Amino acid sequence: MASTPRYWAVVVAAGNGSRMAADRPKQYLPLAGRCVIEWSLAPFLDCDWIAGIVVVLAAADCEFAKLPVSRDDRVFSVDGGASRAESVLCGLRWIEANAGKADGRSYALVHDAARPCLRQQDLDRLRDLASNADGGLLAVPVTDTLKREAQSRVDETISRDALWRAQTPQLFELSRLVQALEVAASSGLAVTDDASAMEAIGARPHLVRGSGSNIKITHAEDLALAEFWLNRQGGSD
């Protein structure tokens, strides 16, 4: 009998949101009647093919446990690290240590807690990537003209041909992503997403066209935009 793949979500929420400069980490800011991280977790909780969700928290985080979602039996939490990549590794290692050896392959979908507008239909489209050894990610093509800056002046215009903006979730075979992130860490390669680590070991992840609404909450103005998209999506879809 064919072995059944298992899909785990790793939602990284151990950042302090310095660019947001709010009174708390941005993943706990109020948004459309909930807080940011509750929206970011919702698509995974509504998803029947996700085996479990590991939320990666700052060691001193005392906010997450106050949320009802923290008591969901599919949700687990682990302390993160000093970088996003380290936090992802903490989540992956928890799965390896606690989820037992699956009869089939295990896959990780790594998602930013700072992306509360992920659409269910876009999440579902990532599942097919499991058949591709190199995994993949949600992304959207660049539509602006891109300039490289030098001393507040245009240094050069960069062609936007074939350029995409990476989003999350990013889906990879779990043990391969662990290997890739460990190689990146040991070689001093600072990666800002998980696909970069996979690329560094020779993978060519698939780009799955996502939605422009899947924004990352980074600066204060992003919250109003996220509220617009969530209200337009009817809260979830």
Ligand X SMILES: Nc1ccn([C@@H]2O[C@H](COP(=O)(O)OP(=O)(O)OP(=O)(O)O)[C@@H](O)[C@H]2O)c(=O)n1
Strand, helix or coil for residue 115: coil
Q: Which is nearer to ligand LQXTBERG, 65 or 190 (CB)?
A: 190
x/- track of binding to ligand LQXTBERG for residues 99-118 (CB under 6 A)? -------------x------
Contacts 24+ apart (CB under 8 A), 122-128: 122/208, 122/210, 122/211, 122/214, 123/43, 123/44, 123/47, 123/169, 124/47, 125/208, 126/169, 126/171, 126/208, 127/7, 127/49, 127/171
Work out the burial of residue 23: count CB atoms within 10 Å of its CB; fewer than 13 is exposed, 13-18 middle, 19 or more buried: exposed
Q: Please report how close the Cβ of residue 62 comes to ligand X at its closest, in angstroms.
A: 15
- Strand-pair category, 153-158 with 75-79: unpaired
80 lies in the binding site for ligand X (CB under 6 A): yes
- Strand-pair category, 153-158 with 106-112: unpaired
Near ligand X in 141-170, by CB under 6 A:
none
Considering only 84, 136, 181, 184, the residue that binds ligand LQXTBERG (CB under 6 A) is 84
User: Across the strands, what pairs with 209?
Assistant: 139
As given in the structure block, the two tokens for residue 82 are 């000093």
How many residues of this chain interact with ligand LQXTBERG, rule: CB under 6 A? 8
83 lies in the binding site for ligand X (CB under 6 A): yes
Q: Please report how close the Cβ of residue 2 comes to ligand X at its closest, in angstroms.
A: 34
Considering CB distances under 5 to 8 angstroms, the limit depending on partner class, which of ligand LQXTBERG, ligand X, none binds residue 41? none
113 DSSP assignment? T
215 lies in the binding site for ligand X (CB under 6 A): no
Considering only 19, 160, 204, 232, the residue that binds ligand X (CB under 6 A) is 19
In sequence order, what are the residues at sequence separation of 6 or more whose Cβ sits closer than 8 angstroms to the Cβ of residue 202? Answer: none
216 lies in the binding site for ligand LQXTBERG (CB under 6 A): yes
Considering only 1, 60, 62, 82, the residue that binds ligand X (CB under 6 A) is 82
How far is 164 from 193, CA to CA, in rounded Å? 13
Q: Please report how close the Cβ of residue 5 comes to ligand X at its closest, in angstroms.
A: 25
Q: Please report how close the Cβ of residue 200 comes to ligand X at its closest, in angstroms.
A: 19
Q: Does residue 102 contact residue 173 with C-beta atoms inside 8 Å?
A: no
Contact footprint for ligand X (CB under 6 A): 12-20, 27, 56, 80-84, 87, 112-114, 216, 218
- Residues at the contact surface with ligand LQXTBERG, assessed by CB under 6 A: 84, 112, 166-168, 192-193, 216
